[in-house]
Amino acid sequence: MIGIIDSGLGGLAIAEAIWKELPYESTLYLADHAYFPYGDKTAEQINLRLPRLINWLVKRKVKTVVIACNTITATAIDGLRQHFDIPFVGTEPAIKQRGIVLVTPTTAASRRYQQLAKNYPVVTLACPGLAEAIEHGRKIDVYLSKLPQNTKTVVLGCTHYILVKDKIQKIYGKNIKIIDPSAAIARQTRTVLTRRYLLNPSGKPKHLFYTTGLSRRARGIIFTKCGL
């Protein structure tokens, strides 16, 4: 079983890509709604929180953990890899595509992201409140950063943004190329499982969904409270 973790619903964009890429793999999705949003948390807060969540996934025998959240990847994945004997797949903006990168404030401020971004000619735009608006189904227009003139490419640097990719495309216009990294993350998950001889080539998968907040139904999925 593949563990998938996000602060909320954003990681479902990655989960959907994994289901398509790896149709025989079961998944366990954990949404940390009790601490949502991560985009305005400090790196220290996130690093204190994550080991408890990963321990919960490990106890349920997941064979790898996909960090389906740019902010967790930017702030915590290095420490998680040091402390847990399980492969992790991170989610980072596809900045090799260049252009404008939309991220949460915490991702923008992280050392990992800044080190990555300095190697490419990108412009980083933090979007305070955008992930929260998407999570709660509110209009996104007022939270979406205004693009500089002559922008050609926009990289989605938060998995929540991928959920409303079509809306972002409509707001920015059809001439803007929107980069969605979800398929690449799914392919990397396949690569990690293959290298570790953990790939499941057949079988009937099951998909489980848990939340650290209140039990809920969202996007047609029932999330069960897990009490973390």
Output the domain CATH number for residue 73. 3.40.50.1860
| Confidence band of 186 (pLDDT split at 50, 70, 90) | very high
For the chain, give the mean pLDDT. Answer: 95
| Same domain, residue pair 174 and 214 | no
Continuous H helices in 42-181:
43-59, 70-83, 105-109, 111-117, 130-135, 159-163, 165-172
Domain encompassing residue 87: 2-91+182-225
Q: How far is CA 186 from each of CA 40, 100, 225, rounded to the nearest angstrom?
A: 27, 23, 26
Specify whether 112 is located in the same domain as 83.
no
The residue among 51, 56, 55, 86 whose CA lies nearest residue 72 is 51
Same domain, 80 and 121: no
Cα angle 208-211-216, degrees, rounded to a multiple of 5: 90
Identify the active-site residue in 67, 158, 185, 192.
158
Q: Let me know whether 200 and 188 are in one domain.
A: yes
Mean pLDDT, residues 7-30 taken together: 97
Catalytic residue among 69, 72, 89, 125: 69
Task: Name the percent of the chain lying above pLDDT 90.
Answer: 93
C-alpha count within 13 angstroms, C-beta hemisphere, residue 94? 16
Same domain, yes or no, for 33 and 145? no
Q: How many domains does the chain have?
A: 2
**Residues 32 and 87 both lie in one domain:** yes
201 vs 154, residue with greater confidence? 154
- Tell me the CA distances in angstroms from 25 to 57, 63, 71, 177, 202, one per residue in order: 16, 11, 25, 31, 8
Is there a catalytic annotation at residue 226? no
158 is catalytic: yes
**Same domain flag for 187 and 175:** no
Q: Is 209 in the same domain as 156?
A: no
Q: 106 with 163, same domain?
A: yes
Do 86 and 8 have their domain in common? yes
**Cα–Cα distance measured from residue 212 to residue 34, given in angstroms and rounded to the nearest whole number:** 5
Question: Does residue 14 carry a pLDDT above 90?
Answer: yes
Q: Are 76 and 11 part of one and the same domain?
A: yes
Instruction: Provide CB contacts within 8 A for 1, sequence distance 6+.
Output: 25, 26, 27, 28, 60, 61, 62, 63
Q: Are 83 and 194 in a shared domain?
A: yes
Its pTM stands at: 0.95
